[in-house]
Amino acid sequence: MLKFALHTYVPNRYLKWATFEELETRRLILGFKDGMPYATRWAANEIANALSQTDMKDTIIVCIPASCKRTHDRRFKAFSQMVCEKCGAVNGFDFIQVYGRRQKAHIDHVHALAEDTDKYIHIDESRFKGKKVIIIDDIVTTCKTANAFVDRMITAGADVRMVLFLGMTKYFKRYND
């Protein structure tokens, strides 16, 4: 299975070393996370372009669930529809239900999705059994959440082919003067 990030994402603590392009990508990714329409269109185009050389027939695209239903819907509903229309893939958005609320891993440093997915999401396993699946998420840092979701999808019977991220957290080496 392939795991791939399209861009680098610069966290707050490294902003002073970021290039203009990295700052613009950061702005777009954060806009996407906030559900801004301009950023959702950008993200859908980026993902669709990355998948344009892949045969998407009979492939389900599904996004790693956000920390709560409201955020998940705001971030991924329109995005999933746009990507699937551009790629000809099956939209798996409605096959996963988010309920409850989990801690945000990037804030609390707790990977609740990794520990007990059944507390936060319901996966309609009948939709995924034996199907090709591509998983999408916004930012990857440690990959713990993505790995846990991949494991859960495999348990549901999915044939996970790829995990695609908009951005991967970039780290800068600090040199002492």
Q: Which of 105, 134, 123 is nearest to 113 (CA)?
A: 105
Structural domains in the chain plus CATH codes: 2-169 (3.40.50)
Q: Which of 42, 81, 34, 56 is nearest to 134 (CA)?
A: 56
Question: What does the mean pLDDT of the chain come to?
Answer: 90
CA atoms within 13 A on the CB side of 93: 17
The pLDDT, as a whole number, for residue 115 is 56
Give the pLDDT confidence of 84-111 residue by residue, as tens digits.
Answer: 999 999 999 999 999 877 655 544 545 4
Asked if residue 118 lies in contact with residue 130, where contact means CB atoms within 8 angstroms, the answer is no
- In this prediction the pTM is 0.89
Distances (CA, A) of 177 to 170, 172, 173, 174: 22, 15, 13, 9
